[in-house]
A and B are shown apart, each in its own frame.
Chain A
Amino acid sequence: MAAFESLTSRLQSVFGKLRGKGKVTEDDVNEAMREVRLALLEADVNFKVVKDFIARVKERAIGQEVVKSFTPGMVIIDIVNKELTELMGGTQAKLAKAAKPPTVIMMAGLQGAGKTTASAKLALMLQKGGHKPLLAACDIYRPAAIKQLQVLGGQIGVPVFSLGDKVNPVDIARQALQHAKDEGRDYLIIDTAGRLHIDEALMEELRQIHEAVKPDEVLLVVDAMIGQEAVNVAQSFHEQLELTGIVLTKLDGDTRGGAAISVKAVTGCPIKFVGMGEKIEPLEPFHPDRMASRILGMGDMLSLIEKA
């Protein structure tokens, strides 16, 4: 929002006044770090994650680079940017592959995060890569959830396995796996109902699905607009399901998406893909460097640094 004009200009005003002084002190760095902290909090990075992060960056900044620099603001942004990028991991748009097909992918997440849409996008991506995916409709709760998946499957020409909404999702998943084997489908994508991470009964259901189909890939679908709760959500899902990756959705919006950092920090799982729209197009790979500059709100800053 408006308050977040830009980290660059904020850092400039921190360091601007010491032009005359000519030397960056530890106090100056501390003041700069307060600005970095605010920037990250405004981007919805979890405050605990911010705390650790700031401590690390401060150490590096005071260590050497900044104090000696003529452009301390730039150096700090550069350090922050690099640390953030590193924190979010390398580009990892790779899916696990089962030794013996089908590879089973399970989608999980809060209500409305974008699981069903991401399932269809994933199926399309695989299909375009020459694979034969099968979608399984395991959300029996949300009104018309099955219909939604069937429509999407129809749009992209990927079959959808469904047993209606009267059969237990665990059984649906199990039978879908059998069906995939029988039909020679090499990927099975299981769409599950949205649920709160504190809903014990529904989390137990996910564990049972997990147990029944032994997925090769368990993807947590996270809405990029999520706030501070991202940490608790990711942690609980990870504890119960041993996640293997994250899909960050709705990045076509204007959110800074600080949750990307939080989620990665607490689960250690790579963010494998991002969702960039409502239309069913293949999921896109995640770029940590782009995400870092987005979170810092400085898309064009990077080119400046590169030129410097």
Chain B
Amino acid sequence: MSFFKKLRESISAKAEAVTNKFREGLGKTASAIAGKVEELVLRRKKIDEAFYEELEEILIGADVGVTTVMRLTDELREEVRKRKIEDASELQPILSEKLVALLREGADEGLRMAESGTTVILFVGVNGVGKTTTIGKLAHRFKSEGKSVLMAAGDTFRAGAIDQLEEWGRRVGVEVVKQQPGADPAAVMYDAIRAAKQRGVDVLLCDTAGRLQNKTNLMEELNKIYRVIQREMPGAPHEVLLVLDATTGQNALSQAKLFGEKSGVTGIVLTKLDSTAKGGIVVAIRSELKLPVKLVGLGEKMDDLQEFDAEQFVHALFAGAIDKEAEAGSAG
């Protein structure tokens, strides 16, 4: 069976509502890459240097990143040589296959939950990416699954940060553990873990202040937060999610690397995918750092959070191509 057919069948087995929401959210991304690749293949029937250069531009234009794109096109060149491909259209499915493979590197599991007791999830990332908003959304999700949730206001630095989390708390009906602005965030985490244990809550979501990964002292502060959580509750944090803004360019790689070093990042949340940004940087992060994407943000409201699904992501990217192939298949 062809690659696209397999992909298609695996996706149609999933709940339709989920797929649709994901596809809608990714609509702009999808048409962008798929449409352009298709157009390129049709226009330049021949595979030559100019073809590769344009292909590179399409992928780089999606923020996939130079290193990853170069590796990808090198692999394609290799395939072209090996399989003696001459027609550009033959290359398209190979490209998609390679992209999915990149996205699948690293296990693709959901959020890791504690086997018993409280699950602690720590959110980290640079300024303004959507940490606090994602916590609000996730709190809402866990609550609607019937779980008890607590949030920790670990951003004691930014003006209005505590109020922002409290407002989310009111919206979704979840309590916030907090101290005064300017307090030591590690102390807030200490309080929050104790409160979580005392009340026996299912999930504790920990907010932290945004910080740029090149700020040594702020990264050390984060490391301290991380260590306090580890010390106060064995096995915690069960997830450390690095929140990345989908509009971010190559700097995201540096973010993933340095936050990983200081706070043991276990997964990525890709926010603002409702924009026209393609979030292609995720491909690079997957292939270079093997970090799985666990969740994606598709808007500012509490429901705008989805699980990441590599197959659906690529399906959305290549929607046009897949539908075409299906048509051709049913006709033939």
Report which B residues bind A (CB closer than 8 A).
Answer: 28, 57, 60-63, 65-67, 126-130, 136, 157-161, 163-164, 166-168, 171, 210, 212-215, 245, 247-254, 257, 272, 274-278, 281, 300
Contacts and interface: CB of A to CB of B under 8 A. Distances in A.
Interface string A81-121: 00000000000000000000000000000111110000000
B164 A47 contact: no
A198 B28 contact: yes
A255 B249 contact: yes
A143 B128 contact: no
Contact of A110 (B66, B247, B254, B278): B247
Contacts of B171: 143
B63, B136, B158, B249, most chain A CB atoms within 10 A: B249
A110 B275 contact: yes
Given A111-B128, A112-B129, A225-B251, A232 B276 contact: yes
Contacts of A233: 247, 276
Main SS class of interface, A = loop
13 contacts: A1-B253, A3-B67, A44-B250, A111-B272, A112-B245, A113-B128, A144-B160, A147-B159, A148-B163, A225-B245, A227-B247, A228-B60, A229-B63
A1 B66 CA distance: 10
B252 to A, nearest CB: 8
A228 B245 contact: no
A43 B253 CA distance: 12
Contacts of A228: 60-63, 249, 277-278
A142 B164 contact: yes
A148 B257 CA distance: 30
A135 interface: no
A147 B252 CA distance: 30
B62 A41 contact: no
A154 to B, nearest CB: 9
A198 B276 contact: yes
Given A141-B300, A228-B63, 16 more contacts: A1-B250, A41-B60, A47-B57, A110-B275, A143-B168, A144-B167, A145-B160, A155-B159, A229-B247, A229-B275, A250-B212, A253-B213, A253-B214, A254-B213, A255-B250, A255-B254
Top 5 A-B pairs, shortest CB-CB distance: A227-B249, A112-B128, A148-B160, A143-B167, A44-B249
A242 interface: no
A171 interface: no
A15 B297 CA distance: 47
B247 A226 contact: yes
A61 interface: no
A143 B159 contact: no
Nearest to A193: B300
Given A142-B164, A253-B251, A254-B251, A225 B126 contact: yes
A302 to B, nearest CB: 21
A204 interface: no
A194 B127 CA distance: 14
A79 interface: no
B138 to A, nearest CB: 15
A144 B250 contact: no
B275 A196 contact: yes
Contacts of B278: 228-229
Contacts of A1: 67, 250, 253-254, 257
Contacts of B213: 253-254
A152 B161 CA distance: 12
A119 B63 CA distance: 29
A147 B160 CA distance: 6
A143 B61 contact: no
A255 to B, nearest CB: 4
A254 B255 CA distance: 9
A259 interface: yes
A223 interface: yes
Contacts of A143: 136, 163-164, 167-168, 171
A196 B274 contact: yes
A110 to B, nearest CB: 7
Interface in A270-297: 278
A57 interface: no
B37 to A, nearest CB: 15
